Structure 1
Amino acid sequence: MGGIDLVIIAVIAANVLMSFKGFKDSQFFNKYKFDVSSIKAGDKIRVLSSGFLHVDTTHLFVNMLTLYFFASSVTSFLGTTGFLLVYFGSLIIGNLLSLYFHKDDYGYTAVGASGAVVGVLYAAILLQPDMMLGLFFIIPMPAYVFGIGYLFYSIWAMKARRDNVGHDAHFGGAMGGYFITLLLSPWVLKEHLLMVILLAVPILVLFVLQKMGKL
């Protein structure tokens, strides 16, 4: 097993160990979860640490399985350092966007690696836009169609507020994966320009809606 593979396994292991600690120790979980009031009071570590906690084993399994499938695509193009920049950058950007949208909701809390994982997924889509994804692991779909559709769904879910899922963190994670990948691999702008433009559309829509006060 190469060094790159070991880094992916190490990230997954860190999520598993910290999540299982949180499952058994509510004090630990509450100390490191994303909590708007605590973060605004100066407890900034939660912006990072909350990304390694999960609600339950299903939440953890889905995130780690998705990460496992797409991380190798990112490491093959960006290397170990690039993968880590995408992962942690997306995690932090996702949580910062969530903080922005919930800055006045002092009771808002969240956990999960979803922002980081979606960032890795979007990096993989930019780097290999012709790859196919299995929707629900069954229905074949072009990666870029899934990417665009997922972001528009996230915008709708952020407006609807009908569930307890951190859609804003997912969206911020996708933005992190998008912009960090372009910074690290500017060749993507030349080789996959149409996909770069198409994947930017929902990001622009989000901020236009925000500016108009419709989110």
Structure 2
Amino acid sequence: MATRRRLLQFHSLLAQQALRAAPRPKPQSNPYRLLHSPSRPVAASPSPSSNLILCRNSGSLLPMSAAAVGVAARAAAARWLAARGSGLLDPFSLQRRRRASGWPSPSTFLRGVSWVHWMPSADGAVLMLIGANVAVFMLWRLADPSFMRRHFMISLDNFKSGRLHTLLTSAFSHKEPDHLITNMIGLYFFGSNISNVFGPAFLLKLYIAGALAGSAFFLLEKAFLAPRKQVYVGWGDSRTPGLGASAAVNAVMLLQIFLYPKRLVYLYFVIPIPAAIVGAVLIGADLWRVKKGQDRVSGSAHLGGALVAALMWARIRKGWI
């Protein structure tokens, strides 16, 4: 009996030692939390229903993490639909968003255009155009004059030779300092207003459109009107090249005048004149130059820029821009 009792005590000691040496499982926190107490974990329960909660919005049994995702997704969708309905999500929507000046934004021209994000600021667009004109002006002093005449002047010879890029490059080209300064002053003051109201992309498009229209009108005059006046101006007038940003700047200036005809324009920065009178004088002078035929200033090119300004003004009035 004594031996049997000792064996039982030995087995008991071995069992206690094994229990002490065995690794104890770490307590695991419940991954699911109650909806009304998200900061307090719920004790583990053998019942399978303890890991599920009732989502009040949908009435379905979902874990807390999935329910939270569903609620957040529905809230985000509701906010997206509300913003979409108000036209705030699409920066190039057809909705007319008026600025402080009262005119709508021309962003409808830029729907889906990726390069819009690379556009400079309103004032930066004006300075960029001025910088391009100054750079070409300096190029006239450094490059071969024959090269500049072929690629930075508009003429019938260049056009017939296939140098179509001169339709645009001539609008950045000036040989005389006074010509450059006059155009850049007008571009700075009137272009800054247009760029701040309608955006830098609109200003660049207006400048390019005015330049191309001015070059086209210049070529049309040299091709059809100048030959009729050969008795008075000589046989070489139809082959005379042209250059300058006057047509593009004229488009910018006249659009500003058409939009705000009652504003005052300070002639020589001193004399206040209503914008409507300034516009009438500019257009009248260009018509007289075309009729007269003998002038170093191309009235036909200026009228091309005026036509672009009139078309833009009409589109703005109709709400298309």
Which residue type is aligned with residue 242 of structure 2? A
Other structure's SS at 2:199 match: helix
Question: Is 1:165 aligned with 2:297?
Answer: yes
Q: Could you list the per-position Cα deviations for residues 103-153 of structure 1 after superposition, in whole angstroms to 9, with x for gaps in the alignment?
A: 256512001000000100011112222211122333221111110121111
Report the Cα offset of residue 50 of structure 1. Answer: 0.5
Q: Which residue of the other structure, out of 7, 30, 40, is the alignment partner of 2:149?
A: 30
Q: Is the CA contact (8 Å cut-off) linking 2:170 and 2:242 kept in structure 1?
A: yes
Which residue type is aligned with residue 75 of structure 1? S
Mean Cα deviation higher: 77-86 or 65-74: 77-86
Which residue is 1:61 aligned to?
181
Which residue is 1:108 aligned to?
240
Which residue type is aligned with residue 70 of structure 1? F
Q: Distance between the aligned counterparts of 1:24 and 1:68, measured in 2?
A: 26
Q: TM-score, normalised by structure 2?
A: 0.55
Q: Which residue of the other structure, out of 94, 98, 101, is the alignment partner of 2:218?
A: 98
Structure 2: tracts of 5 or more residues without a match: 1-119, 225-236
Question: Is 1:73 aligned with 2:193?
Answer: yes
Other structure's SS at 1:140 match: strand
Report the Cα offset of residue 173 of structure 1. Answer: 0.8
Which residue type is aligned with residue 123 of structure 1? L
Structure with max Cα Rg: 2
Which residue is 2:267 aligned to?
135
Report the Cα offset of residue 83 of structure 1. Answer: 1.1
Percent identity between the two aligned chains: 28
Report the Cα offset of residue 187 of structure 1. Answer: 4.5
The structure with higher relative contact order (CA 8 Å, sep 6+) is 1
Other structure's SS at 2:295 match: coil
Which residue is 2:127 aligned to?
9
Q: Is the CA contact (8 Å cut-off) linking 2:123 and 2:196 kept in structure 1?
A: no
Q: Distance between the aligned counterparts of 1:21 and 1:111, measured in 2?
A: 14
Which residue type is aligned with residue 3 of structure 1? S
Q: Is the CA contact (8 Å cut-off) linking 1:89 and 1:180 kept in structure 2?
A: no
Other structure's SS at 1:134 match: strand
Q: Distance between the aligned counterparts of 1:183 and 1:101, measured in 2?
A: 27
Which residue type is aligned with residue 254 of structure 2? Y
Question: Is 1:46 aligned with 2:166?
Answer: yes
Q: Is the CA contact (8 Å cut-off) linking 2:265 and 2:272 kept in structure 1?
A: yes
Q: TM-score, normalised by structure 1?
A: 0.80
**More helix as a share of residues:** 1
Q: Could you list the per-position Cα deviations for residues 76-110 of structure 1 after superposition, in whole angstroms to 9, with x for gaps in the alignment?
A: 22211211111110111111111111125651200
Which residue type is aligned with residue 159 of structure 2? I
Structure 1: tracts of 5 or more residues without a match: 189-215
Report the Cα offset of residue 184 of structure 1. Answer: 4.5
Mean Cα deviation higher: 124-133 or 109-118: 124-133
Two-structure CA RMSD over aligned residues (Å): 1.9
Which residue is 1:194 aligned to?
none
Q: Is the CA contact (8 Å cut-off) linking 2:222 and 2:239 kept in structure 1?
A: no
Q: Is the CA contact (8 Å cut-off) linking 1:74 and 1:127 kept in structure 2?
A: no
Q: Distance between the aligned counterparts of 2:212 and 2:316, measured in 1?
A: 17
Aligned structure 1 segments of 4 or more residues deviating by more than 3 angstroms: none
Other structure's SS at 2:223 match: coil
